[in-house]
């Protein structure tokens, strides 16, 4: 049987699946459910210095549906515990769990970063995740230079504790690749790429923001390609390990993130929507994938895709492909005709056919509901 164990931020994990900081990790009982269902580690719901953030409004979740995907839009805020209560929570969690417990903290003064990080270390936390990137936290919402704050905080906390320090990066940056290199140089033991985006949804009848009336975090399956892009670019260049976060809904997504260079993958939305049992399903998929591919360890395929990503100059730009419609499958729905900007689709005896104008873009094949269109080499019948 394949070995799912991995090393992330100097921590030994039995599986690369980490349950991310959220309400699903807000109590010892919930952390136990994560472990019972196969999580490799847990990140506790964040402790915030700003006290008002410890009181979350209700309701605070909204599923915003798009045509082919969805957004989990939320304003969940922080743990309700004060620093001493939170330290006791971490202490109790360490008594009950055998997997690593990573404490998440969010402060905005140096004194608080020093106090809270030392408290977490003394309580027994295995590592500290620096949550400066909360999509509706002080740093993002007040317009601070989040990257500069994150670099300085990483150095400060690293000088204060001996356990691993892991900054959680924001996706809302002009160059996450450069940010990751700066954090790596600042001594980060691991990087979380990334937190959720800050967003806004509007009720057009009330002409006002939905839910609590302000900005909120948003994420969902659509976010994975952003994470894959930056992790694949960064992972070969940094010394520290990376935990992917954003858009991982199932086992296939976890495999993609590992192929891009992640040592571990944080899951949140899928646990919220599908329950803790989804962790078992992800681990099972990962085992089956590794068996099918002949991999014994995570390292056997971690980062494998990075060297296969082409730069702009290496992309094959020859127009070798052309669409071909199978008339037996064609239902004459006309979708291909509607979307083709090259006027390459025309009526043919009640069906449709492709003419010489076809550019080979592939959109008609992607959108054909009957799967009647194939992309073939030019000249093939």
CA 281/CA 259 separation, integer angstroms:
19
Is the per-residue pLDDT at 116 higher than 60? yes
Alpha-carbon dihedral 245, 249, 252, 257, rounded to 10 degrees:
-10
CA-closest candidate to residue 127, choices 100, 151, 106: 100
Work out the mean pLDDT of the chain and round it to a whole number. 96
Q: Which domains does the chain have, with CATH numbers?
A: 6-300 (3.20.20.70), 321-377 (3.30.70.20)
| pLDDT value at 380 more than 80 | no
Tokens of 40: 């490799």
- Whether 45 has a pLDDT exceeding 60, the answer reads yes
pLDDT tens readout for residues 81-109: 999 999 999 999 999 999 999 999 999 99
* Nearest one of 31, 36, 20 to 266, comparing CA atoms: 20
The tens digit of pLDDT for each residue in 290-345 reads 999 999 999 999 999 999 999 999 999 999 999 999 999 999 999 999 999 999 99
Cβ within 8 Å of residue 126, ≥6 positions away: 11, 41, 100, 101, 102, 163, 164
Residues 6+ apart with CB under 8 A from 340: 363, 364
Pairing verdict, β 241-245 and 190-193: parallel
> Full-prediction pTM beyond 0.75?
yes
Q: pLDDT by residue (tens digit) across 47-80?
A: 999 888 888 888 898 999 988 899 999 998 899 9
Q: What is the pLDDT of residue 280?
A: 98
DSSP classification of residue 252: H
Tokens of residue 328, six digits: 């037996």
Beta-carbon contacts of residue 167 (< 8 Å; ≥ 6 apart): 129, 130, 132, 133, 150, 153, 154, 183, 188, 191, 192
Q: How far is CA 263 from the centre of its chain?
A: 13
């Amino acid at each position: 049987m394949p070995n799912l164990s991995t090393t992330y931020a100097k921590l030994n994990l039995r599986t690369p699946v980490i349950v991310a900081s959220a309400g699903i990790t807000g109590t010892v009982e919930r952390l136990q459910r994560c472990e019972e269902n196969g999580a490799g580690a847990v990140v506790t719901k964040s402790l915030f210095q700003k006290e008002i953030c410890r009181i979350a409004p209700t309701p605070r979740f909204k599923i915003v549906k798009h045509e082919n995907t969805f957004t989990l839009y939320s304003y969940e805020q922080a743990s309700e515990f004060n620093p001493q209560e939170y330290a006791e929570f971490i202490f109790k969690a360490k008594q009950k769990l055998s997997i690593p417990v990573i404490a998440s903290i969010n402060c905005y003064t140096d004194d608080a970063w020093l106090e809270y990080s030392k408290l977490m270390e003394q309580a027994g936390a295995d590592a500290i995740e620096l949550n400066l990137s909360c999509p509706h936290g002080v740093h993002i919402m007040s317009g601070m230079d989040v990257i500069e704050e994150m670099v300085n905080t990483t150095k400060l906390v690293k000088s204060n504790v001996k356990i691993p320090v892991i900054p959680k990066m924001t996706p809302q940056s002009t160059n996450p690749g450069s940010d990751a290199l700066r954090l790596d140089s600042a001594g980060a033991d691991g990087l979380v790429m990334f937190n959720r985006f800050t967003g806004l949804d509007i009720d057009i009848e009330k002409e006002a923001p939905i839910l609590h009336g302000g900005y909120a975090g948003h994420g969902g399956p659509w976010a994975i390609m952003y994470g894959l892009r930056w992790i694949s670019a960064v992972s070969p260049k940094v010394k520290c390990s990376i935990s992917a976060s954003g858009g991982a809904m199932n086992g296939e997504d976890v495999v993609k993130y590992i192929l891009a260079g992640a040592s571990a993958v944080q899951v949140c939305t899928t646990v919220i929507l599908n329950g803790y049992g989804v962790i078992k399903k992800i681990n099972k998929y990962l085992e089956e994938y590794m068996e099918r591919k002949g991999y014994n360890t995570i390292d056997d395929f971690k980062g494998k895709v990075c060297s296969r990503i082409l730069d702009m100059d290496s992309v094959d730009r020859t127009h070798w492909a052309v669409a071909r419609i199978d008339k037996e499958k064609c239902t004459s729905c006309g979708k291909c005709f509607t979307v083709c900007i090259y006027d390459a689709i025309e009526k043919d005896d009640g069906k449709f056919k492709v003419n010489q104008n076809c550019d080979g873009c592939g959109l008609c094949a992607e959108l054909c509901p009957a799967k009647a269109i194939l992309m073939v080499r030019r000249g093939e019948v």
